[in-house]
Amino acid sequence: MTTVEERPHTGFGRTLRKEDVRLVRGKGNYVDDVRLPGMLHGALLRSPYAHAKILSIDTSAAEAAPGVKAVITGETLKGLGLAWMPTLSYDTQAVLATDKVRFQGQEVAFVIAEDHYAARDAVELIDVDYEPLPAVVDAKKALEADAPVIRDDKEDQTTNHIFDWEAGDAAKTDEVFANAEVVVEQDVLYPRVHPAPLETCGSVADMDPVTGKLTLYTTSQAPHAHRTVYALVAGLPEHKIRVISPDIGGGFGNKVGIYPGYVMSIVGSIVTGKPVKWVEDRAEHLMSTAFARDYHMRGEIAATKDGKILGLRVKVIADHGAFNATAQPTKFPAGFFHVFTGSYDLEAAHCTVTGVYTNKAPGGVAYACSFRITEAVYLVERMVDVLAYELKADPAELRMKNLLKPDQFPYTTQTGWEYDSGNYPKALQLAMDMAGYDALRKEQAEKRERGELMGIGVAFFTEAVGAGPRKHMDILGLGMADGAELRIHPTGKAVLRISVKTQGQGHETTFAQIVGNELGLPTADIEVVHGDTDQTPFGLGTYGSRSTPVSGAATALVARKIRDKARIVASAMLEVSPDDLEWAGDRWHVKGDPEQGKTIQEIALAAHSTLELPEGVEGHLDATTVYNPPNLTYPFGAYICVVDVDPGTGAVKVRRFIAVDDCGVRINPMIVEGQVHGGLADGVGMALMQVMAFDEEGNHLGASFMDYLLPTALECPSWELGETVTPSPHHPIGAKGVGESATVGSPCAVVNAVMDALKPYGVRHADMPLTPAAVWEAMQGRPIRTDLAIP
C-alpha cells in the first residue's frame, strides 16, 4: 500500500484561492455590508438632461419629508468650497452641479435620511427648474465652430478642446508613407463601453466628531491615492483619514477615480455627525461612473507590395465626456496609446490624440485597458487585417512575416517603449497549431462554396504593464512605486502588508505564494493584509495590470530581505559565519551539510528569543521595502477566434477561441487562466454586444443590463488556452502581469473573425459591437455609427 503524504502547499503552482473560502460562501464583506450604529442613508438626485442650465432648485418638500435629515445642493457646497473637486487629470469636476448640468445622470442634490427608502422618496420631491441646452453628443463634431461650449465654467475655455498630444516622428513617418508601395486608410471606432462590475460604487463615511478622524469604507482600487486626494481636496489632515476598501466586487478601472457620491457621504457625515452610507444603483452606475474607450481613430498603414509593414499613422479624437477625469500618468494624457505600433518591426510611426469634451459622463481610463493599450492594440490589429484584405494575404502569414524576432529584444519601438523580452513567432505558431489553422482555412473555403459564412480571426498583442518607473509615471504627482511590509511571527507564520487592492484577482493567494516561494513557508501560513490605509504601506493601487509587476516585485524583494536577515540569525544559531550558509528553498544550512540547517520557522522563533544576535540584526524578523520598477513589463499573446455567421440574420456565433498568453513566470496558473477566461468573455462582450450609445439629445441608451449586455456562458465557447513563458529580465521573479491581457487582445480577434467571415460580401471593416443588425448592415455595404442612436 502506498500512502500519499498530505503536504501543505508552498510556493508557485495551482492551489485554491484563499479568499474563496469566504467569497463562495457569501461571507464576503462589501461596502454595502457595512452597517454602523446610527448610520444614515444618502441618495443622489441626478440630471435628466445631458446639457441644461439650472435656474432654481427647491428642496423644501424634500426637507419636510418623513425621515429626512438634510438635503444638500451645490449651493450648500459652494459655501464650503466643495462644489467642485479636482479630477485625476488636473481638470475639475462638479461634486453637485451649480450652474449647469453637463451630462445625463450628473449629480445635482444629495438627500440624507433615516433609511434608503426615505432618501429615495425624498429625492423625487426636489424640484429643479432646468433650461435645456443643445447637447454635444458626437465627438467628431465637438470641435465644430458652432458646437455649444460645455465647460463655460472654466476661464479661457472657449471650445470643447481639452488637449492635443502626439508621439513618434511625424516627418520620418510622412517620408515612409510617401515612398511606400501600399498605403491603406481606415476609420476605426472603439466605442464607449462600461466596466460594469457587479458591485456598483458606494461608500460609508464615518467622521468621528470627537477625534476628528474620518473612516471611509469605499469601493476603491487605490485606497492610498484616495486618502491623499481627500486630504488635498477637503483639507483634512492625512493622518486623520483612514480609507478602507473591503471586499470589492470587480473594478476593471471603474473604481480608480473619486466620485461625487463618495465626497457627498463624507460631507453628509460631517453635516449630520452620523455615519452616512451612499450606494448607487445599477442605472446610476452605468450612467455616471467611469466609462472606457470612446476613441475615434483614423489609421493608416504603409507597406510593400509583398507585405512588409513599414509604418503606421493614426489620428484620434478621444471623447472624454464633460469633465476630464481620466486617470493617466501626467506625461501621458492619452495613456499608453503610443504603444500602438504593437508587435511589429516598423520603420516609422506617429500618432496624434485630441481630447474633447462632450455631454457624456466623465472617465476614460476604465475597463481593463492598461492605460489605453486596448485601443492601441485594436487599432494596429485591425489595420494589419485591413492591409491583409487589400493585399489578399493570409492574416496569420502577414503577421508572422512582420512580428518582432526573438533576437531583437530588448527592442525599442518607434515611439520610445523598450520591450523587455519576447518570442512572438513561437506564440503565434503555437496558437496556429492549437487551432489547426490550415484545416480551418480549408473548411472555410469549402463552406464559402456553399454560401456558408465562417471566419477565422487572428490577433497578436503586446501589453505594457506595471506602471511604472517613478521618473516617468505618476498619478496627480504621486509616483507609481509601491511598498510592502513583511513580518514573520515567532511561530513562523507571516503577515504581508501591501498597497495594492484586489477586486477579485486573488491577491491574497498569489502574494502569499510569492512569499512562500521566497521563504519556503506554506501558502496557508501567510496572511495578506490590504485595502486599509492604516494597516498597509503607501502605494498607488491595482489597475493597469500593475499588482504583480510592481507589488509582486516588492513582495519578492521584502521576502528576500527577510531571508538575508534570517541568514544572520541562522549563523548565530548554528555558530558559523553567514558566508558559510547556503539557502535550500526553505532553510539556511551549512554549505555541504544539509543536515545542519534551520528553517525560517526555527529562525523566526530564535529571532524573537533570548538568543544573542550578531551585529547587523536588531531582533525579530520583519522588513519593509518600496519598489520602483526600472521599466514596464511586456506580456504578449496570440489569439485565434473562429466564428460562424448566419447569412440570413447576421447573428454571430463564436465557435472556438484559442488564446496563447505569455505573461512571463506564472505564479498560480489557475488564477492566470481565470484572469484570461474573464478577459476573453469581456472581449466577446465588447466585440459583439456592448456599447453605450446616445441619442441626439444626449440621452443614455444603455443604462440597464437589459440594454447594456454582459456576455453569458452561452456566448462563450470553451476557451482553449496555451502558454509560452518568456520571463521578464528585470522583474525579481520574471513575472509580467496578466490581468488585462485577454481584454486587450480578444476584441480584435473576434472582430477580425467576423470581418473574415464577411469577406465574400466585400466587407473590410465594421465597428463594434457586431450585433446581428450591425453585421447585416455591413453585409448591405453600409456600416453604421454604433455609438449613436440607430436611425
Where does this chain bind another protein (CB under 8 A)?
A: 32, 116-117, 120-121, 124, 279, 281-283, 648-651, 688-689, 691, 693, 701-702, 704, 706-707, 709, 711-712, 714-715, 771-773, 776-777, 784, 789-791
> What's the CA gap between 337 and 136, in Å, rounded?
25
**What is the nearest approach in angstroms of another protein to the Cβ of residue 384?**
28
Cα dihedral 226, 232, 235, 236 in deg (nearest 10): 30
Closest CB to another protein among residues 592, 791: 791
CB of 380 to another protein, least distance (A): 28
* Beta carbon nearer to another protein, 31 or 572: 31
Cβ nearer to another protein, comparing 1 with 714:
714
User: Quick one: cell of 740?
Assistant: 488585462
Nearer CB in complex with another protein: 478/691: 691
DSSP state of 547: I
Give me the least distance between CB of 124 and another protein, in Å please.
8
Note whether 521 and 10 are within 8 A (CB): yes
In DSSP terms, 641 is beta-bridged to: 457, 657
The rounded distance, in Å, linking the Cα atoms of 186 and 5 is 61
Chain-centroid distance, C-alpha 619? 41
| Cα–Cα distance for residue pair 295/353, rounded to 1 Å | 9
Q: What minimum distance in Å lies between the beta carbon of 766 and another protein?
A: 14
CB of 141 to another protein, least distance (A): 21
Cβ-based nearer residue to another protein, 199 or 518: 199
Rounded CA gap, 397 and 387, in Å? 12
What's the start-to-end Cα distance of the chain, in Å?
A: 74
Pick the closest to residue 104 from 284, 326, 276, 312 (CA basis): 284
In whole angstroms, what is the distance from residue 31 CA to residue 745 CA?
Answer: 32
- Report CA Rg, the chain: 27
What is the distance between the alpha carbons of residues 570 and 137, in angstroms, rounded to a whole number? 68
Closer to another protein at the Cβ: 80 or 789? 789
Q: Which is nearer to another protein, 90 or 117 (CB)?
A: 117
Residue with smaller CB distance to another protein, 143 or 701: 701
Q: How far is the CB of 109 from another protein (least distance, A)?
A: 17
What one-character DSSP code corresponds to residue 532?
B
For residue 581, the 8-state DSSP code is E
* Residue among 232 and 788 whose Cβ is closer to another protein: 788
Q: Are 346 and 173 in contact (CB under 8 A)?
A: no
SS3 for 376-435 is: HHHHHHHHHHHHHHHHCCCHHHHHHHHECCHHHCCEECCCCCEECCCCHHHHHHHHHHHH
Q: How far is the CB of 8 from another protein (least distance, A)?
A: 39
Q: 693 to each of 194, 223, 294, 785, how far by Cα in Å?
A: 11, 32, 10, 9
Q: Cβ closer to another protein: 121 or 525?
A: 121
Q: Which is nearer to another protein, 679 or 769 (CB)?
A: 769
Task: For the CB of residue 790, give the shortest distance to another protein in the complex, in Å.
Answer: 5
Give which of 559, 572, 599 is closest to 583, Cα–Cα.
Answer: 599
Helix/strand/coil for 55: strand
Smallest distance from another protein to CB 58, Å? 20
Shorter beta-carbon distance to another protein: residue 124 or 129: 124
CB of 689 to another protein, least distance (A): 5
Measured from the CB of residue 695, what is the shortest distance to another protein in angstroms?
10
Dist. CA 596–CA 75, nearest whole Å: 74
Grid coordinates in use for 5? 503524504
Q: Please report which helix (H) or strand (E) contains residue 555, including its range.
A: helix 553-574
As given in the structure block, the three cell numbers for residue 359 are 455631454
- Of 236 and 283, nearer to another protein (C-beta) is 283
Least distance in Å: CB of 717 to another protein? 14
Q: Confirm if 202 and 264 have CB atoms less than 8 A apart.
A: no
Q: Please provide the DSSP assignment of 636-701 as one string.
A: EEEEEEEEEE-TTT--EEEEEEEEEEE-BS-S-HHHHHHHHHHHHHHHHHHHHT----B-TT--BS
117 Cβ partners below 8 Å, 6+ apart? none
**CB of residue 706 to another protein, shortest distance in Å:** 7
